[in-house]
Amino acid sequence: MAVLVTGGAGYIGSHTSVALIEAGFEVVVVDNFCNSKRYILDRIEQITGKSVRFYKVNVCDENVLSKVFSDAGDIESVIHFAALKSVGESVEFPEKYIKNNIGGTEVLLKVMAHHGVSKLVFSSSCTVYGQPETIPVDESAPFLPAESPYGFTKQACEEIITKHSSHTNGSEGFRSAILRYFNPIGAHPSGLIGELPLGIPNNLVPFLTQTVSGLRDSLIVFGDDYPTPDGSCIRDYLHICDLADAHVAALKNIPSGVRPYNLGTGKGVSVLEIIADFKKATLMEVPYEIGPRRKGDIVQIWADPSRAEKELKWKALRSKEEALIDAWRWQQNLNGAT
């Protein structure tokens, strides 16, 4: 039986596909390459030594998606990554985000129900919490009003999945693990797959590695006057391969009903610490300057990942130094390829 991975050529999707194949799962990827590249699929095959079944499909296209289920014939569960993820772009084009992220999830649920597929792992984000009152944050923290249309779509999809579950409790019962990611960084240690930002990166580590490699003049630290020990914002950075492993664990231990899980290390790290750690791990200088705060940034957040450890039997194992070395290796390979 196979797992359908929507958005399987993307950053988290590609690492998860590798982890699934290595764990013995049969993988069927759908992707429309709107924010990924076809060659990543070859790289997945290169790393795993297995061929990957693939369909170029937009998940919003119900008929075509339904044909994938019929054609593949053996899809038993789904991991749904396919979504747009740029916070800034979502502010500019909110409708595009609603149509793709919410619309795509609705279509997928409908098609899954039609084909009798009842297991879903959903790609969500800690953005659903906003700035939580208590840190580390656990899954009982309430959703705060979304900071961006992107964040709104993640909250809305979680609610749609929960509602869907209460309507479709058939003989099998719909089951879904909702995975709330903290900040995935790094790349596969082979250097063959990693994050491929289109244009100027929004996220910290790709901007940092591009700066160190000379593609950008300087990394701007968005504010050093926050109420944190060194004044810069704090996040919970986890290695992308740990995050990928969490999806395998979620499939193996899929809860009954719908249940959210925080995926992080449980430790908060500041922007200035990431810069210092990068230098220590790679011996490379990071040209940076302090700039103004970024609008909408939350001050600090890190996960209480204990539910995932207990119920999914998953824990982040790799260090942030390892993640930064892997991110740097990937950046150097990218530079070599252009």
Residues that bind ligand UD1 (CB under 6 A): 85, 87, 125, 127, 150-151, 183, 202-204, 207, 219-222, 233, 235, 271, 294, 296-297
Structural element, H or E, at residue 37: none
List, in order, residues 6 or more apart from 246 with CB less than 8 Å away.
179, 261, 263, 308, 312, 314
Residue among 83, 77, 82, 81 nearest 112 (CA): 77
Considering beta carbons, is residue 88 or 189 the nearer one to ligand UD1? 88
Nearest approach in angstroms of CB 166 to ligand UD1 is 27
Angle (nearest 5°) at CA 84 between 78 and 89: 170
Main-chain phi, psi angles of 133, to 5 degrees: -70, -35
**Furthest CA-CA distance within the chain:** 59
Of residues 28 and 244, the one with the C-beta less far from ligand UD1: 244
Positive or negative: CA dihedral 195, 55, 39, 95: negative
CA distance linking residue 81 with residue 11, whole number of Å: 10
CB of 121 to ligand UD1, least distance (A): 17
Instruction: Give the residues across from 30 on adjacent strands.
Output: 6, 55
Task: Indicate the residue among 77 and 300 with the shorter CB distance to ligand UD1.
Answer: 300
288 catalytic, yes or no?
no
Concatenating the DSSP letter of every residue in 301-323 gives --B--HHIIIII-----S-HHHH
Closest residue by Cα to residue 185 from 250, 249, 278: 278
User: Beta strand 234-235 with 288-291: parallel, antiparallel or unpaired?
Assistant: unpaired
Q: Which residue is nearest to ligand UD1 (CB)?
A: 233
Q: Would strands 288-291 and 219-222 be described as parallel, antiparallel, or unpaired? A: parallel
When the beta carbons of 132 and 165 are compared against ligand UD1, the nearer one is: 132
At its nearest, how many Å lie between ligand UD1 and the CB of residue 63?
31
CB of 285 to ligand UD1, least distance (A): 17
Q: Can you tell me the distance from the alpha carbon of 64 to that of 142, in angstroms, rounded to the nearest whole number?
A: 36
Residue 113 backbone class (left: φ over 0; alpha: ψ -120 to 50; beta: rest): alpha
Minimal distance, residue 233 CB to ligand UD1, in Å = 3
Kindly tell me which of 37 and 294 has the beta carbon lying closer to ligand UD1. Answer: 294
Separation CA 338–CA 334 (nearest Å) = 7
Rounded Cα distance, 231 and 25, in Å: 45
Helix (H, G, I), strand (E, B) or coil at 219: strand
Point out the catalytic residue in the list 11, 97, 150, 181: 150
- Residues serving a catalytic function are 150
